[in-house]
Amino acid sequence: MGMSEQQSLLYKIKPYADRLPAVTRPEGHVHFRTKLIWVAVILVMYFVMTNVYLYGLDTESTLDMFAQYRTIMAGASGTLMQLGIGPIVTASIILQLFVGAKIINLDLTKSGDKAVFQSTQKLLVIVMIIFTAVPQVFGFLVPSQEFIAAVGTSMARFIIVLQLCLGAYLVFLMDEVVSKWGIGSGVSLFIAAGVSEALFTGTLNWYPLDSAAAVSASNPPAGTIPKTLYIIGSQSVAELSQGGYEQILLAEPNPLIALVGTIVIFFFVAYVESSRIELPLAHGSARGARGRYPIKLIYASVIPVILIAALLANISMFALLFYTSETLSQVPLLGGNPALGLFEPGATHASGGLVWYLSAPMGLNDWLLPILDPGTYGNGHSPLQNLMRVLIYFSFMVLGAILFAKFWVNTTNLGPEAVARQIQSSGMQIPGFRRDPRVLKRVLERYIPVVTVISGALVGGLAAGADLIGTTGNATGTGVLLAVGILIQFYEAMGREQMMEMHPVLRGFFGGE
């Protein structure tokens, strides 16, 4: 079968991409305990990297252009994890879109095409690392004056960019270690770790927001629970009635309603994750051997939300660059255009323009109170503009998640045809139907496409809804949704690994070695 021009080009790139540093696959089966050890080691390395700051950086002058997406991108500002998983996810978005739209004609069910896809993705990750790292040193990651005096401005910037690239590529290699030698996905593991850390500190942090000042009613502990206990214990009933309860429930940092919203989202996602349709299966030759193929309500998992978060982070980054950069602000139409994104001096959050409408409202303080009482809680926008922002953001999240869910299912062997082949190759069949992949495909087509759309709409709506309610630790609603879904999937993956360890015959069905 002849290859298209696009395919031929990618096959020519593959030998060069394969020379890049990578993690080799294990030759045989990796034991369950060994996989757990690798996961633990990589997790420790992740937390170490979030605390290793970039050499030569002026931390006081540095701006975090990904501040509002920090937990989702599994990064830490000013550290080796500055870029987080952003380049990996962005490269994945680009390739998934190109393959899904048939611009790149690869059949990922074939081992050769899949190998080309993975090699191309590795090369594209490096391109996205450089593409994301270089703009950061122009006005955002500022070298210290001492460092500039020692090596010069250009060399200081180059060294910081080099550190960013090395840190981001280490993240890529760590992701490969988890996916090949551990359990689940490294990207997902880093997201869950970062969000969990934010939730923990946001709930229990007893240090005040302004650490230089003493704890007081105007500078209470930052954590939800210490803050609530301090205000209740230090104020009289009259003081609580005159604003104390409002400070506990709604005021930043970490209001009580955000903690309640986080808990509600946690249990709701756990419930939705357990909802599924189970197709009965029977073995074609072994009588009495029966099983079930589960089609979960969140069929495309939480991956679509990760892809949307990365897309919004990149839109925000480029809008910020076009508005603030001395060079890019001169670009016609885009440069310095407040309609694209209006940014206050020193701010990384848009305060107006298209990017503001696409940014997540962070809790009730950011949208509902300005609508109900614009005189007291006004944010510079009319109630109608705040309402439009909520509707546009919610619609973008839902529709975007549906789109990415369909692409993800079609390009990761989760579609009806791929699942039918997987069931057929395992020797199983649906009772009452002929043992034919085409018959299996027709049966699965009744469920998978519909569930995929519902899955995308549900995760997009849940993420947007949680953002509107607010979350503790500024973990964002998307972050909480991702963390809960990832932890549940990790638990299920551990169960499958244990099952394969006890019953090696099942490895073929689950895709293990």
**Is residue 22 predicted with pLDDT exceeding 60?**
yes
How many whole angstroms separate alpha carbon 257 and alpha carbon 82? 30
Give me the mean pLDDT over the 380-399 stretch. 95
Q: Quick one: pLDDT at residue 286? A: 60
- Model confidence at 287, pLDDT cuts 50, 70, 90, reads low
Burial of residue 385 (number of CB atoms within 10 Å: 0-12, 13-18, 19+): middle
- Contact by Cβ (8 Å): 224, 255: yes
What pTM was computed for the model? 0.79
Give the per-residue pLDDT at 413: 73
Over 60: is that where the pLDDT of 502 sits? yes
pLDDT cut 70: percent of the chain above it: 94
Segment 9-38 shows an average pLDDT of: 84
Tell me: the pLDDT tens digits for 31-81?
Answer: 889 999 999 999 999 999 999 999 999 888 787 877 777 877 888 888 999
Which are the contacts of 513, defined by CB distance < 8 A and separation ≥ 6? 26, 28, 29, 30, 507
pLDDT reading at 1 higher than 70: no
pLDDT in the model for residue 4: 41
What pLDDT digit, counting tens, does each position of 217-245 carry?
Answer: 888 999 999 999 999 999 898 888 888 89
pLDDT one-digit tens code per residue, 294-324: 888 888 888 888 788 878 888 988 898 899 8
pLDDT of residue 6: 43
Strand 276-283 versus strand 428-429 pairing type = antiparallel
Between residues 434 and 134, which one has the greater pLDDT?
134
Record: fold of 1-187: Preprotein translocase SecY subunit (1.10.3370)
Q: What is the pLDDT of residue 174?
A: 95
Domain ranges of the chain: 1-187, 206-253, 256-513
Provide the pLDDT for residue 181.
92
Mean pLDDT of 136-162: 90
pLDDT digits (tens, 9 = 90+) for 323-369: 988 888 888 888 999 999 999 887 888 999 999 999 988 888 889 88
Residue 2: the pLDDT is 42
The per-residue pLDDT for 460 is 93
Top-confidence range, 266-275, 306-315, 397-406? 397-406
38 or 277: which leads in pLDDT: 38
Residue with tokens 């949307």: 308
CATH of 256-513, one of 1.10.3370.10, 3.40.50.300, 1.10.540.10, 3.40.605.10: 1.10.3370.10
Please work out, in degrees rounded to the nearest 5, the angle formed at the alpha carbon of residue 160 by the alpha carbons of 137 and 51: 110
More confident residue, 363 or 396: 396
503: pLDDT confidence band, cut at 50, 70 and 90?
A: low
- pLDDT at position 5: 42
* Per-residue pLDDT at 284: 62
Return the beta strands (E) in 196-330 as ranges: 276-283, 290-296
- Same fold yes or no, 1-187 and 256-513: yes
Distance CA 92, CA 40 (A): 25
Given this model, what pLDDT does residue 507 score?
Answer: 54
Chain centroid to Cα 481, Å, comes to: 10
The predicted-structure confidence for 384-393, as pLDDT tens digits, reads as follows 999 999 999 9
Per-residue confidence at 113, pLDDT binned at 50, 70, 90? Answer: confident
DSSP character string of 51-91: T-BPTTB-TTT---TTGGGTTTTT--TTBTTSSTTHHHHHH
Confidence at residue 60, expressed as pLDDT on a 0 to 100 scale: 81
Residue 380: DSSP 8-state: S
The predicted model gives 168-186 an average pLDDT of 92
Q: For the chain, what is the mean pLDDT? A: 85
Backbone φ, ψ for residue 343 (5° rounding) = -125, 130
- Please check whether residue 443 is in contact with residue 433, taking contact to mean a CB–CB distance below 8 angstroms: yes
